[in-house]
Amino acid sequence: MHKIKNKIFIAGHNGLVGKAILKELLKKGYSRIYTISKKKLDLRSKRQVDKFLKKNKFDEIYIAAAKVGGIIYNKNYPVDFLLDNLSISINLIQGAFENKVKKILYLGSSCIYPRTTKQPIKEEYLLNSKLEPTNEAYALAKIIGLRLSSFYEQQYKNKIDIRCLMPTNLYGPNDRYDISRSHVIPALIKKFYTAKINNFKKVEILGTGNAVRDFLYVDDLAKFCVHYMNLNKKILRKNNIEFVNVGSGKGIKIKNLVKIIANIVDFKGKIFFNKNSPDGHPKKLLDISLAKKLGFHYETKLEEGIKKTYLDFIKNQ
């Protein structure tokens, strides 16, 4: 395989998305990929980020770093979510520009969209009404990162190339399996597995189960990230593309997702929905028409992806 010598930094390489991007880049033949641990580089520190970028002179940066968590964790720590994610986004985007990084990929989140909006959600629906209160802090930080990227593109068109993707709910190997802090699929896997090995008779699920979500296997996103980074910029500018939604294009009610995961884990007890807990967005299904036009392919079906994720979870117990 021909080795591609672009010097690349993956911010957030230990996270779900960062690990998948690293794997995809290696598979594609990239040979100069750089990563660094949180202990050695605090992305919330402008001084540390500037020093690191100035020293290494990267060609490309994938910004997959973020402070993330589920509904309850977002709701309980809004200051942390806003400040940490703002700092990470601003430091890396500004630092990349000041240190002449040629190309940046900024990864946001589908939570940037309003709580109630037309479905499926098109890119143009951003900021057309109020955000979902339970993850407003995280959403605001991601929106500012997105807008900052757009403003750099607008003000310094020929000096920087920033591309932005807004993924839906992601899942897959190498996720964080923590009932209180994780996103829905890894949290449910952990919850049902714990109930199974302890012979619990029932499992409580937060919310009504009626919320609708769109889930994407992380390797499918990673493939598109690398593909999107290598698209001719003229195509994006000609079509005034600020950012692109990436998802499965298929919605599922949480109650149905719960049944799938309980079946895969082989939990035989009862399932109880705590309707006093928040659902978050009532429905969040992305319109992925633009991504498809740009070469995105949804490959991994939900049940297949959850089985792979569960096997990864079991392997790492």
Q: 250-282 burial string, b = 16+ CB within 10 Å, else e?
A: bbbebeebbebbbebbebeeebebeeeeebbbe
Task: Specify the amino acid at residue 227.
Answer: H
Measured distance CA(272)–CA(219) in Å, rounded: 32
33, β-bridge pairs: 8
Q: Are 195 and 236 in contact (CB under 8 A)?
A: no
Task: Please pick, among 113, 138, 171, 177, the residue that the annotation labels catalytic.
Answer: 138
138 a catalytic residue: yes
Measured distance CA(291)–CA(141) in Å, rounded: 23
What is the CB neighbour count within 10 angstroms for residue 47? Answer: 9
Tell me, what DSSP letter sits at residue 79? H
Tell me, what DSSP letter sits at residue 162? E
Active site residues: 138
